[in-house]
Structure 1
Amino acid sequence: MTLLSSVRRRSARRGWPGVLVVGLALATGCTTAPEPGSSASSKSASDGAAKSASDGAASAADTRERLRVDGTDRAYLLHEPTAPGAGPRPLVVAFHGRGADPAEMRELTGLNRAAKARGMLVAYPEALRKAWGAGAAPTRQRPDPEADVRFTEALVDKLVRTRRADPRRVYVVGFSNGGSMALRVAAERPKLVAGAVSVAGQLPTGRATVRPSGPVPVMIVYGGKDPVRPVTGLERPGPAPKGQEPIMATRSARASARAFATAGRTKAPAEQPRKGYDRTLWRPGPGTVPVELLVVRDAGHTWPGTRVTPPKGFGPASKALDTTGTVLTFLKDQAPRPAADAARAPERTDR
């Protein structure tokens, strides 16, 4: 079953007038409907043992686990390599898009197979009400805008203590609203992560502005034909649907990348056209880190290279880039965080 058929069924149940209207209403900071990656695999997340179509292999090793943070039970899906290597292992925290769930993020990205080949742990956290607090401003639905940042810290701390995750090699990755969440964690907790990647997600601006506070290697992958949240950003978002999170304004993909380049004191950017996409690289200077922007020319609001069919209204699913392989190679190429930084990362306890 394709994502499109799943979204159509949900649209009919909830009384939405059509998938196209829903798709165009989706954004990094808003939506009332599933994003790409949403399908009938919600049951898989509950069971924690479903097969991922994009992995092409059973996910029987995945477990659905819980963590109590600030008095709230939070859930996540954990994938561990079948044959654990010696010593601590790199950890990828993968944030799903709005309206989706951990199993759908696993399916959309195919991260399990690619991470296994690199000996990485992958944690797929689950958002409250299927949306991440990617912006810094409180809202009626989310009075504590820091809750998801603390959840991320607590999750990392738990996996370092219990699953031999390497605190010096913690990476955050996300799609759409989850991509903005990954950028927020990197911006506000630069000593927690050794690298961050956002696909189809930008930095919030306006009341919810998030500003990078230190050097972090960052890659942003964006579709040049994204009709949901254009590559140029969303300066004046429309009103939020009743009962939903407000729609956030965002910087452009380039301005989001440039903000991290400025915080990391990189050199001037170099434009490097490639087949199917344009690469902008802010090269690192002495003691700094790289920032990259990849704009996939024929991609919409999608994860380029995915096998999952995007809903109508989200633009084309490009095959010009193997996003998952590119993302993990970029992260693995980055130097681990200094031991002193890892030691100073906020230590959380289950509460």
Structure 2
Amino acid sequence: MNAFSADLMREATRLTREGKLAEATALLQGGFSGAPAPPAPPAARQGRLFDVDPRSGEAHASQVWRGGGAMGEALRGPRSPFGPGGPAPAPVLPEGARFLAGSFAGAAGGRSYRLYIPGTPAAGPRPLLVMLHGCTQSPEDFAAGTRMNALAEAHGCLVVYPGQTSSANPQKCWNWFNPTDQRRDQGEPALIAGITRQVVREHGADPARVFVAGLSAGGAAAAIMAQAYPELYAAAGVHSGLACGAARDMPSAFAAMRKGGVRPDPGGRLVPTIVFHADQDTTVHPRNGEQVIAQAGGSRLRVTTERGQVSGGHTYTRTIHADAAGRPMLEQWVVHGGGHAWSGGSSAGSYTDPRGPDASREMLRFFLEQPRGPRES
């Protein structure tokens, strides 16, 4: 038995002791066969607490499947009328707006995407936001849950939503824990960067105002993109995600999600970053949000902290790392009492917490306040 299999056995033993027999079985089947484990029948699925619906108080169960290198997250997202990752209802678009389907192909493979183009006429090259969905989600689901298209319409931004495939990961997670998918010009980073460049080129986006954000596995992928392509992305938003390099394989990914990854080395340059993470997140430990901020750099910045509360919603702590001119370069939002869900999102999508604060609005505000980033050579 090799070291990797020994790690799998230890993880399976832990799951068995916790009564998560379906998870342990799926882990062993996937780990030893090299193929994704088949889902357990509904009667055998054993959930663990994922989140609480703030409107009804109902606890929602989640299941994490671990097989064939996949990093599965919750199979059932809270408050989704169509189920996680399913077909979102067709959006009602403002006059002149478009929500296009596109695709990219390159040396690392190909991916499809959806692109929102505002109906409001552009006064010049538009900013571009790249949005990376979480596990089991789809571009349409993520757009509905974050309501980013409506904000993009108001601010004249393009928004592109790359879509992960079930063939690349059975739960449609971005493979943030694979070394090949953490490196510049390889694997999924090459695909996401390729989509970004294609949209900039074909739709006249402003290359100095390109941003990347994501949720959970998508948040971890956004952190990777910011580190791997600092000349391409002017800022990053990481919601309930992990730092680049937090894990190097499946067992270390489990450990990072449970208690935080190894403390990352700060990058070679400051990467403007905004982080949202709830302190009751039982899927990705809140310590990971701190590690994303630490990796982004900025030791010479001036730090201030403020507390607030959304009317009828969550309290939060906002820590701002500002430059000499007072501009926020790093922001960390800790949502008190929230779970593993997009803060302030819409119940039209999965993994959302409408009780706020509004992560979409704050991320876009943070991005558009940044000084114009360097153009890619």
Normalising by structure 1, what TM-score?
0.74
SS at match of 1:166: strand
2:102 equivalent to 1:65: yes
Q: Hey, what does 2:34 align to over in structure 1? A: none
The 1-side partners of 2:217 and 2:280 are apart by 18
Q: Provide, for residues 249-284 of structure 1, a one-character-per-residue CA deviation record: whole Å limited to 9, x for no partner.
A: xxx211221221x2x444253222222100111222
Deviation at 1:56, TM superposition (A): 8.7
2:338 equivalent to 1:299: yes
Q: In structure 2, what residue type is equivalent to 1:225?
A: Q
2:358 equivalent to 1:322: yes
Q: Provide, for residues 138-178 of structure 1, a one-character-per-residue CA deviation record: whole Å limited to 9, x for no partner.
A: 49xx9999311111221121112110111000000101100
Q: Hey, what does 1:31 align to over in structure 2? A: 72
The 1-side partners of 2:234 and 2:345 are apart by 25
Q: Provide, for residues 33-82 of structure 1, a one-character-per-residue CA deviation record: whole Å limited to 9, x for no partner.
A: 5464874586647xxxx434xx8979972111111121623100111011
Count of matched residue pairs: 299
Deviation at 1:179, TM superposition (A): 0.6
Where does the alignment leave 5 or more consecutive residues of structure 1 unmatched? 1-10, 233-251, 345-351
Q: With CA pairs under 8 Å and 6+ residues apart, which has the higher RCO, 1 or 2?
A: 1
The 1-side partners of 2:349 and 2:126 are apart by 33
2:173 equivalent to 1:131: yes
> Which of 240, 246, 258 in structure 2 is aligned with 1:205?
246
The 2-side partners of 1:165 and 1:92 are apart by 10
2:194 equivalent to 1:154: yes
Deviation at 1:123, TM superposition (A): 0.2
Deviation at 1:25, TM superposition (A): 3.0
The 2-side partners of 1:290 and 1:187 are apart by 15
Q: Percent identity?
A: 23
Alignment of 1:106-117 (within 5 A): 106-117=143-154
Alignment of 1:123-272 (within 5 A): 123-127=160-164, 128-129=168-169, 130-135=172-177, 137-138=179-180, 146-203=186-243, 204-207=245-248, 212-232=267-287, 252-260=288-296, 262=297, 264-272=298-306
Q: In structure 1, what residue type is equivalent to 2:198?
A: K
> Which of 329, 333, 342 in structure 1 is aligned with 2:375?
342
2:308 equivalent to 1:274: yes
Q: Hey, what does 1:5 align to over in structure 2? A: none
2:119 equivalent to 1:82: yes
Q: 158-167 vs 126-135, which deviates more?
A: 126-135
The 1-side partners of 2:240 and 2:72 are apart by 14
The 1-side partners of 2:321 and 2:75 are apart by 34
Contact 1:64-1:78 within 8 A present in 2 as well: yes
The 2-side partners of 1:293 and 1:168 are apart by 24
Contact 1:266-1:285 within 8 A present in 2 as well: no
The 2-side partners of 1:318 and 1:295 are apart by 15
The 1-side partners of 2:108 and 2:353 are apart by 40
The 2-side partners of 1:18 and 1:108 are apart by 26
Where does the alignment leave 5 or more consecutive residues of structure 2 unmatched? 1-38, 50-60, 250-261, 310-314
Q: Hey, what does 2:30 align to over in structure 1? A: none
1:293–1:64: structure 2 CA closer, same or farther, 3 Å change rule?
Answer: same
1:144–1:268: structure 2 CA closer, same or farther, 3 Å change rule?
Answer: closer
Deviation at 1:218, TM superposition (A): 0.3
Deviation at 1:224, TM superposition (A): 1.1
Q: In structure 2, what residue type is equivalent to 1:205?
A: A
The 2-side partners of 1:59 and 1:19 are apart by 44
The 2-side partners of 1:188 and 1:71 are apart by 16
The 2-side partners of 1:176 and 1:58 are apart by 33
Q: Hey, what does 2:48 align to over in structure 1? A: 20
1:44–1:61: structure 2 CA closer, same or farther, 3 Å change rule?
Answer: farther
Q: Hey, what does 1:99 align to over in structure 2? A: 136
The 1-side partners of 2:318 and 2:201 are apart by 38
Q: CA RMSD in A?
A: 3.5
Contact 1:97-1:174 within 8 A present in 2 as well: yes
Q: In structure 2, what residue type is equivalent to 1:283?
A: A
SS at match of 1:99: coil
When Rg is computed on C-alpha atoms for both structures, the one with the higher figure is: 2
The 2-side partners of 1:190 and 1:35 are apart by 34
The 2-side partners of 1:207 and 1:213 are apart by 20
Contact 1:132-1:177 within 8 A present in 2 as well: yes
Deviation at 1:84, TM superposition (A): 3.3
The 2-side partners of 1:167 and 1:186 are apart by 15
Q: In structure 1, what residue type is equivalent to 2:375?
A: A
Contact 1:26-1:35 within 8 A present in 2 as well: no
1:306–1:56: structure 2 CA closer, same or farther, 3 Å change rule?
Answer: farther
Contact 1:24-1:228 within 8 A present in 2 as well: no
